[in-house]
Amino acid sequence: MNNNTSHIRGLEDLLEDIRNHKYNAAIFDIDGTLIDSMPIWEDLDADFLKTQGIELTEHEKHELNETMWTMTVDEGIRYLKETYKLELSEEAIGKALSDAIEQFYTNQVPAKEHVAGLVKVLHDAGIPMALATVGEPSYETAALKRLGLLDCFDAMCDCNSLGTTKRDAFIYETAAKLLLGSKSESERTAASASEPANSSAQAAESAATSESALKAESAAESNASVLVIEDVLHALEAAKQAGFTTVAVEDDASAKDKARILEAANYYLSN
């Protein structure tokens, strides 16, 4: 395996590139990236199983967390029920888990201050931003609102609603289209307002040409000019594979994957 990570740059390099207008949009993960929520996720499922009379060893807990972390909420609930032969319905399992999560997000979870600072820099620079999450949007938005970050974002995509996971880049591609589509539309409107009126035929031809050009431009912008900020390996690899510029955020829960994360990242933000 090639462990050359000399290409990795840090926060100061990223800020310099933002000041030099290198990026047109940014997409942020939430858990473990914007907010330091990983501790509850490390204990959540094992603590729930304990209430059902199932006590895991540390090794079993670790293996469960490894499996659950690549799943959507619905996939995880189904996995718990089927794997541990729980009598509770999927709805009841979901309710028990969501009650614990809601209390933590609404009242306790802290921001990752250096990443929150990056959000403010991008916002002040006028760069559109979206949230892309595998978690429950209502809890996460409550936390971001309490922390003063929610209003900095222009859009939000979640895996459950899109029927996807972060094992592929569909959620990032969807978010990028929302951000850059809005930008392209406003630029097109401004350009049209500054041009003299054409005949209907000329207008139609111009619109078709512009639409084709916009699609090509959007495809290019949806790759290297869009930042994807994430903390877990499989998400960074999916974004990298799709051509996005990746920003890895250090998180204790992903420490074991650090070497591979560095390979998948264009920038690395340490704690």
The token pair at 234 is: 């499989």
- Ramachandran assignment for 40, one of left (phi > 0), alpha (psi -120 to 50 degrees), beta (any other): alpha
Are the C-beta atoms of residues 44 and 96 closer than 8 Å to each other? no
Instruction: Read off the tokens for 177.
Output: 């289209």
Digit-by-digit pLDDT tens for the chain (271 residues) are 455 555 679 999 999 999 999 999 999 999 999 999 877 888 999 999 999 999 999 999 999 998 998 888 899 999 999 999 999 999 999 999 989 889 899 999 999 999 999 999 999 999 999 999 998 899 999 999 999 999 999 999 999 999 999 999 999 999 999 999 855 444 444 434 434 334 444 544 554 555 555 554 555 456 789 999 999 999 999 999 999 999 999 998 888 999 999 999 999 999 8
Domain covering 11-37+110-269 in this structure, CATH number? 3.40.50.1000
Q: What is the pLDDT of residue 223?
A: 79
Q: Is 10 helix (H, G, I), strand (E, B) or coil?
A: coil
Token reading at 117: 């600072």
Which DSSP state fits 71? S
- Which among 25, 70, 22 has a CA at the least distance from the CA of 173? 25
Phi, psi of 163 (to 5 degrees): 65, 40
Question: Which residues touch 253 (CB under 8 Å, ≥6 apart)?
Answer: 32, 38, 41, 42, 65, 69, 231, 232
pLDDT computed for residue 218 by the predictor: 52
pTM: predicted TM-score of the whole model, two decimal places: 0.73
